[in-house]
Amino acid sequence: MSNAILRLPEVKCRTGLSGSTIYAKITEGTFPAQVKLGSRLAGWVESEIDEWIAQRIAERDNSCGG
């Protein structure tokens, strides 16, 4: 598991979500919250984003009777 920090453009690229959707999902509690790195700087833990993606795949596979 990687503790590397991803910035918003990389998170958007990996998930296919827009920035506004990412922030809405954080508010809903359905997406990993960002880590504050400074007064105006934040990022996401790479392993948490990878796990979120893996959960989406698992949900898809379970809904298909897999």
The string of pLDDT tens digits covering residues 10-26 is 999 999 999 999 999 99
DSSP 34-55: PEEEETTEEEEEHHHHHHHHHH
**57-62: average pLDDT:** 93
Domain coverage including residue 27:
5-61
Among the listed residues 30, 32, 29, 39, the one whose alpha carbon sits nearest the alpha carbon of residue 11: 32
What share of the chain has pLDDT > 90, as a percent? Answer: 91
In a domain, 57, yes or no: yes
Q: What is the pLDDT of residue 33?
A: 98
Q: What is the DSSP letter of 65?
A: T
Among the listed residues 36, 37, 41, 46, the one whose alpha carbon sits nearest the alpha carbon of residue 15: 46
In a domain, 17, yes or no: yes
Q: What is the tally of structural domains in the chain?
A: 1
Q: What is the pLDDT of residue 63?
A: 83
Cα–Cα dist 42/23, whole Å: 12
Q: What is the pLDDT of residue 66?
A: 52
